[in-house]
Structure 1
């Protein structure tokens, strides 16, 4: 009897879910891994094809995944896409480990998936992550991604190559673009950005050895391609692409839409980084949040001091004088990670406190020694400011 009651309760629960509106059922199925969503087809005749209508598909492998298992996943993706009854609006393909190259998958396997996707579905959000451990394992993005995916609003690319210049009409609807460890030339990057007139969020995280070619470019060229940019994240290693010398440049048009700026792996002894940051702050009158992640590997702050000659050359001439007349009228928050309390970092915080009348919070994640924290906090609290700002040091 108890077994029958449980069985009846399960059927009742299933019936309740089945009678939900289709959009709600699709939302529930989207929260499941695609393998589990497909298994719902055995529940009943009504559920046999429900999983084929979900608008979001996510396929991923963990690091170190065997290449044979990855091949099985690729075959499964082809099978899933052949059973699709409704459009795909979001698609994620994340293959980690040495998936490509001499011992991995042929690139054409993924090319076929992306070609089918671009031709048959109005994809809005595309995430491609081919995490690789060496250049030999990179994946070159096919031209079909650029030529057919006109509905894209969000594009996230990681560990793949763009070795061709995308001659296409552009992503007219693209709002978010993220490039992490992508092999690309400056010319191709600027061409891509200029083909995205609606872009509001841009992330560029790339080491120096991922730069293809030796073309020159400037900050002016970069920001001419980003007229509507609101959120910008960039890695310090990338900055030298756009700052050919240490002389700060005035942008012909202010970045009036920019509200959030994040500079990762920042070094206050990097002349190009200081120049880029100075120009950006001076030309962004509506900035609301600045976030810096400091590259502590540049500093041997345990027992030695920084190079004072480098500090004088880059910091005094390029930084302080250039920002003497800046007034950050809309800045609300400053966040700094891996703050080591060296003089250039401290002077930057002092400048922000003195130039931001609406500043509400300064969050600092410190890496100084425990016995140095009280002195650092005391200095920050005594620094003149133009707002009733909360300073949080952890």
Structure 2
């Protein structure tokens, strides 16, 4: 028994003797409530958790009352009762956050908050004000997801977070007059269902001169007016962008706002493009891709996920217009493109024509991956045979298979 106790003490002393940076790394891997419980280990450990530089708070980790443990409980209560229970949970979470911030003894490098939030959550304003005074914050994530209510509006103090390098916002809103100076150090930006005006969005992007990675997942209804940015207006705000991820729900707005005489804006640093829920037959998706290939001569990889839920009719006129659009861009050259991946490929004519378009204009292409749910093996073979007979780089491998 004595030997066992001695072994435990030695192990504990070993952990205590670790460098502070190593201890912080270990504590950062724990949920914040578990990290806080290490304070009971000993006098030396009482405040070690207060120096961890990464804080992650999630409403889902708050202990729920019994009445909220029932699956899909919200379907059995009134709207008023739903709001009351949610408010009680939020109060518990905010209380925990304030206690943690009150005991802070070190810089905060990363802060993440995931919860149901709306425009009544003034407590978040106070958190942002606190963080704006901590000039060491590098990464901020607000994941708000209560779509029953209006989006949480970011306060003016949010724009004082000028040391940020990574920013991820979901279901927020801001429409302040574009007078802020932007985020000079911001390299990665993710905007999902964020509501703002065209003017505010373009001003924000224009004032992020170091932005290299952009994830823009917006619906046309996320714009607070009928005025939407055009494709070129958006591209002009992204001079050093390297990775771009978006989805098809914003593409119609960008195309409809464009005018034929707009001069192209080259995104010479863009190497990777990913488009989710891509639609080749809505009259907007393929024209956007054509413009993209024209403006991004140094692309290295294109990844598309076709909208598998598309149930609209395929208009022959739209299909013909798509073919004409590709011919207009016959001078496109993608000298550095080495990979094209399309998931949920269905072998519609515009999809097939786009693949042939890429094959013919990408001399360095190494791989084309078409992931499909086609149940007819003969159809798969026909697609492969068609593409193998099309003009392409001699080393280009074409793979058609089930996902």
Is 1:356–2:368 an aligned residue pair? no
Corresponding position of 2:46: 48
Corresponding position of 1:234: 246
Corresponding position of 2:57: 59
Distance 2:139 2:115 in 1: 17
Distance 2:365 2:20 in 1: 46
Alignment equivalent of 2:17, drawn from 8, 16, 19: 19
Where 1:16 maps in the other structure, the secondary structure is helix
Distance 1:21 1:387, change over 3 A: farther
Distance 1:23 1:61 in 2: 28
* Structure 1 portions without partners, runs of 5+: none
Distance 1:207 1:378 in 2: 38
Q: Is the 8 A contact 1:234 1:263 kept in 2?
A: yes
Corresponding position of 2:195: 183
- Please identify, of 235-244 and 282-291, the stretch whose mean Cα deviation from structure 2 is larger: 235-244
Q: By how many angstroms is 1:122 displaced?
A: 2.0
Deviation string, structure 1 residues 264-291 (Cα, Å, up to 9, x no partner): 2211123232222211111211100111
Alignment equivalent of 1:141, drawn from 144, 154, 175: 154
Alignment equivalent of 2:394, drawn from 383, 387, 392: 387
Q: Is the 8 A contact 1:186 1:241 kept in 2?
A: no
Alignment of 1:302-321 (within 5 A): 306-313=314-321, 315-318=322-325, 320-321=326-327
Q: Is the 8 A contact 1:356 1:387 kept in 2?
A: no
Q: By how many angstroms is 1:327 displaced?
A: 1.5
Corresponding position of 2:285: 273
Alignment of 1:67-216 (within 5 A): 67=86, 68-96=88-116, 99-100=117-118, 106-134=120-148, 136-146=149-159, 148-216=160-228
Where 1:233 maps in the other structure, the secondary structure is strand
Q: Is the 8 A contact 1:175 1:199 kept in 2?
A: yes
Q: By how many angstroms is 1:391 displaced?
A: 2.6
- Please identify, of 52-61 and 4-13, the stretch whose mean Cα deviation from structure 2 is larger: 4-13
Distance 2:140 2:90 in 1: 20
Corresponding position of 1:292: 304
Superposition CA RMSD, Å:
2.2
Q: By how many angstroms is 1:124 displaced?
A: 0.5
Q: By how many angstroms is 1:247 displaced?
A: 6.4
Distance 1:219 1:100 in 2: 31
Corresponding position of 1:343: 349
Q: Is the 8 A contact 2:232 2:258 kept in 1?
A: no
Is 1:323–2:329 an aligned residue pair? yes
Distance 2:112 2:227 in 1: 32
Deviation string, structure 1 residues 154-200 (Cα, Å, up to 9, x no partner): 11000111132342121111111110011122111001111111111
Equivalences, count: 378
Q: Is the 8 A contact 1:246 1:275 kept in 2?
A: no
Is 1:282–2:290 an aligned residue pair? no
Is 1:377–2:384 an aligned residue pair? yes
Distance 1:121 1:95 in 2: 24
Distance 2:6 2:386 in 1: 69
Q: Is the 8 A contact 2:32 2:55 kept in 1?
A: yes
Deviation string, structure 1 residues 64-89 (Cα, Å, up to 9, x no partner): 89522332111100010010011101
Distance 1:157 1:57 in 2: 16
Alignment equivalent of 1:332, drawn from 312, 334, 338: 338
Distance 2:253 2:265 in 1: 20
* Structure 2 portions without partners, runs of 5+: 62-67, 70-84
